[in-house]
Amino acid sequence: MRLVIQRVKQARVSADGKVCGEVGPGIVVFVGIGKEDRPETCAEMADRTIFLRIFNDAVGKMNFSLLESGGAALVVSQFTLYGDVRRGRRPGFDRAAPPQEARVLYERYVECLRSRGVHVETGEFQAHMQVELVNDGPVTILMDSEKLF
């Protein structure tokens, strides 16, 4: 599983001209599901997401997690996080999970976040979406279940 986590002041995602999800202060999480991912991967990555200390304390040091900050999460599926551009000019997606498997694990990741007390809004799986966000910092973190980065 690959995540791009951005700390935001606000964000929203739309599909077909309709807002699917919207949050105030918190994070946007772009989620890519790989062929090797399992349900337990979702729980581990959810924990890593909510306990990631990227929110400022009173002196401006990143000391608080999403849970401690009281922020929300906007979670958007994005299979292109598994795009391999090491050869040629067109990304290859061989390592991305097939849509039917990815949907189950994407929904499991969202449920893991919710079960830990995070308010979660989502995009629409497999839809062409528009994401609007105000990155706070900017703070952008890459996370990979295989700990490649």
Spatial CA neighbour of 27 closest among 76, 78, 74: 74
Confidence label for 148 from pLDDT (cuts 50, 70 and 90): confident
For range 60-76, the mean pLDDT: 97
Residue showing tokens 């090491």: 86
Would you say the C-alpha torsion 37, 146, 8, 69 has a positive or negative sign?
positive
Domain boundaries defined on the chain: 2-144
Q: Is 79 a catalytic residue?
A: yes
State yes or no: pLDDT of 17 exceeds 90.
yes
Active site (annotated) includes residue 78:
yes
pLDDT at residue 96, rounded to an integer: 97
The mean pLDDT of 64-85, rounded to a whole number, is 97
Predicted TM-score (pTM) above 0.85? yes
- Predicted pLDDT at 33: 98
Superfamily name and number for 2-144? D-tyrosyl-tRNA(Tyr) deacylase (3.50.80.10)
Of the residues 6, 49, 55, 79, only one is catalytic, namely 79
pLDDT value of residue 44: 97
pLDDT tens-digit map of 77-114: 999 999 999 998 999 999 999 999 999 999 999 999 99
Q: Within the chain, how many helices (H) and strands (E) appear?
A: 3, 8
Catalytic hit among 6, 49, 78, 122? 78
Per annotation, catalytic residue among 51, 80, 130, 140 = 80
* pLDDT, tens only, 20-55: 999 999 999 999 999 999 999 999 999 999 999 999
Distances, alpha carbon 20 to alpha carbons 15, 45, 88, 131, 140, in Å: 7, 23, 35, 10, 22
